[in-house]
């Protein structure tokens, strides 16, 4: 019988109003702490997103600058490109005549070997004009 009376006594016992209000206060403080942590994380993430977006803008600007400079350099190189080979032929012939006159005529046939120029493998007329020989 004692056990039944103890059960009845436990079932009839109701918590004191101060216990519920204390538990409620503890839960509210825990919720406030969780909200503060989440708010701090959201603020940090917002700051990181802002920093990354600024970095993206700077990197895009650098990429545009680099591409623009490359385009300018390519355009400048095209303007500086040498003339086509057929336009350089008269200059090459003139250079050959100067080398022939200097190396062969003035310096005791320096480039000449067996009637042919060692440099160009053409026959030399000794007057500064190089004449090709058929092969």
Over residues 104-131, the mean pLDDT reads: 67
Q: What is the pLDDT of residue 98?
A: 78
User: Which tokens in the block code for residue 104?
Assistant: 């062969």
State how far the Cα of 123 lies from the Cα of 134, in Å rounded to an integer: 10
pLDDT tens track for 66-83: 999 999 999 998 888 776
Q: What is the DSSP string of 19-52?
A: HHHHHHHHHHHHHHHHHHHHHHHHHHHHHHHHHH
Question: Is residue 27 pLDDT above 80, yes or no?
Answer: yes
Q: Does a structural domain hold residue 102?
A: yes
Does residue 23 sit in the same domain as residue 61?
Answer: yes
Residue 77 shares a structural domain with residue 98: no
Q: Please report which confidence band the pLDDT of residue 5 belongs to, taking 50, 70 and 90 as the band edges.
A: low
Q: How many domains does the chain have?
A: 2
Shared domain for 28 and 53, answered yes or no, is yes
* Of the candidate ranges 56-60, 104-108, 115-119, the one whose mean pLDDT is the lowest: 104-108
34 and 74 inside one domain: yes
Same domain, 34 and 68: yes
Which of 20-24, 85-89, 93-97, 113-117 is predicted most confidently?
20-24
CA-CA distance, 89 to 122, in Å (whole number)? 16
Residue pair 96/120 in contact (Cβ under 8 Å)? The answer is yes
pLDDT at 129 over 70: no
Domain check: are 77 and 127 in the same one? Answer: no
**Domain containing residue 30:** 19-81
User: CA–CA separation, 111 vs 40, rounded Å?
Assistant: 86
Sheet holding 116-117, edge to edge: 112-113, 116-117, 123-124, 130-131
Radius of gyration of the chain (CA): 49
Among 37, 61, 81, where does a domain finish?
Answer: 81
Residue 105 and residue 70 share a domain: no
pLDDT of residue 35: 96
pLDDT tens column, 35-76: 999 999 999 999 999 999 999 999 999 999 999 999 999 999
Percent of the chain scoring above 70 in pLDDT: 68
CA-CA distances (angstroms) from residue 82 to 72, 87, 100, 115? Answer: 18, 9, 25, 34
Kindly state whether residue 4 falls inside one of the protein's structural domains: no
Residue pair 108/102 in contact by the 8 Å Cβ criterion: no
| Residue where one domain finishes, among candidates 81, 101, 120 | 81
**Residue 48 and residue 101 in one domain:** no
Which of residues 45, 63, 81 is at a domain's end? 81
């Amino acid at each position: 019988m004692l056990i039944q009376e103890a059960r009845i006594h436990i079932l009839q016992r109701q918590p004191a109003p101060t216990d519920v209000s204390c538990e409620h206060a503890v839960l509210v403080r825990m919720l406030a702490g969780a909200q503060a942590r989440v708010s701090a994380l959201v603020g940090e993430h917002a700051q990181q997103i802002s920093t990354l977006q600024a970095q993206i803008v700077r990197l895009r600007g650098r990429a545009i600058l680099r591409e623009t400079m490359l385009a300018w350099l390519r355009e400048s190189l095209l303007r500086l490109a040498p003339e086509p080979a057929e336009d350089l032929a008269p200059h090459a012939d003139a250079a050959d005549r100067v080398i022939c006159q200097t190396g062969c005529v003035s310096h005791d046939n320096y480039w000449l070997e067996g009637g042919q120029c060692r440099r160009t493998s053409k026959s030399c007329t000794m007057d500064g004009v190089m004449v090709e020989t058929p092969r």
